[in-house]
Amino acid sequence: MPDLISPHGSDKLLPLFIEDHSAREKLREEATRLHNVTVSSATAGNAVMLAAGYFTPLTGYMNKIDALSVGESMHTAGGLFWPTPVMNLLPDATGFTVGDRIALADPNVDGNPALAIQQVESIEQFSDAELTTLCQQVYGTTDKEHPGVAEFLAQGNTVVAGPIDVLNYSYFSTEFPDTFRTAVEIRNEIAGHGWNRIVAFQTRNPMHRAHEELCHMAMQRLDADGLVIHMLLGKLKPGDIPAPVRDASIRKMIELYFPPNSAMITGYGFDMLYAGPREAVLHAVFRQNMGATHFIIGRDHAGVGDYYEPFGAQDIFDSVPDGALKIELFKADHTAYSKKLNKVVMMREAPDHTKEDFVLLSGTAVREMLSEGKAPPPEFSRPEVAQILMAHYQSQNQ
């Protein structure tokens, strides 16, 4: 068995899902007797990531001091390197107090079943100024037009901290049974493949030719044994392509254009933050936890609109202290198909090219083509992938 990279801040994964069936049933029964709090979708996503081991070594939701420290320095008050606050933010704490156990109701599942039980260690208030500062530090903006900022500021000013026991994986394990994987499961599968050097690729979009070739480039240059395509399965901003469509298109691409047993198609249960550089660091943390040794960071990673510099998500790693992370980066430039070379290249590696030498299409142009039933050129998108995306867009137009 290969000796996999160690998890972040721990010698073993610390998933918070209660595996033992009888213990879980006891907790479910207890939850029916506890004060019930319907949490935000962001808080529910944090619970799923804690449950799945992705947020090792955290044991629950951060308190105010830790959250403010993370915002200021990307470290908790105790010194753990961590890039974004992991909180249970609520409008108020009516009905419970410090020392209580509360049932956290899932906002994303019909009937709002208990997702987790939290031991309440502290209940604190952020001032509006503190929350604004934290928002600026994490998202780089306080503009409520930014989808991540809007979600963050809508949760409330009350931060309820403490450890949690998680009872299920929300809707992710039932709606995406073939794709949703915990960090524990991905590590086990990597070990089963016998892979030692593993590249992780983050996506919230379908993968076009440029993404496909970027993965091939990274694997070749890093002499990697395997690729883990790890797609976000949670909430996105309006207009983004739904997870089942992305999943189908990526599976088709892997089936046709990757060697057998060279790539795993997986997903994780979390809402997109669109926090650009800070979210890129978070992505690196939980890819280390799932067993990847290398992580592809490209242009405008985890960004939205024009809020971040094109390579800000790479530059932020210059401020990550030595030794804080074991995972290594594969820093990628914008990739596009070269008409001169008849292949996809990183644009910085083709200095003799002009813009006209590349096949470049805006996201808007691609969406319009797909909506009209026109496949983008094969240099941009594999025909088999385009068919799946065209069917989606045309169904939206009916």
Catalytic amino acids? 204-205
For residues 46 and 62, what is the distance between their CA atoms, to the nearest angstrom?
Answer: 11
For residues 372 and 396, what is the distance between their CA atoms, to the nearest angstrom?
Answer: 11
Of 374, 367, 333, the closest CA to residue 350 belongs to 333
For residues 275 and 279, what is the distance between their CA atoms, to the nearest angstrom?
Answer: 5
Give yes or no for a contact between 231 and 247, defined as CB atoms under 8 angstroms apart: yes
For residues 216 and 227, what is the distance between their CA atoms, to the nearest angstrom?
Answer: 9
For residues 370 and 380, what is the distance between their CA atoms, to the nearest angstrom?
Answer: 13
Residue with tokens 């994986």: 169
For residues 59 and 313, what is the distance between their CA atoms, to the nearest angstrom?
Answer: 27
Q: What is the DSSP letter of 71?
A: H
Within its chain, how far is the Cα of 359 from the centroid?
29
DSSP, collapsed to helix, strand or coil, labels residue 117 as: strand
Q: How far is CA 282 from CA 44, 132, 302, in A?
A: 17, 20, 10
Phi, psi of 19 (to 5 degrees): -70, -40
Give yes or no for a contact between 172 and 48, defined as CB atoms under 8 angstroms apart: yes
Give yes or no for a contact between 331 and 314, defined as CB atoms under 8 angstroms apart: yes
What single letter denotes the amino acid at residue 274? Answer: Y
* Residues pairing with 199 in the sheet: 227, 294
For residues 279 and 270, what is the distance between their CA atoms, to the nearest angstrom?
Answer: 12
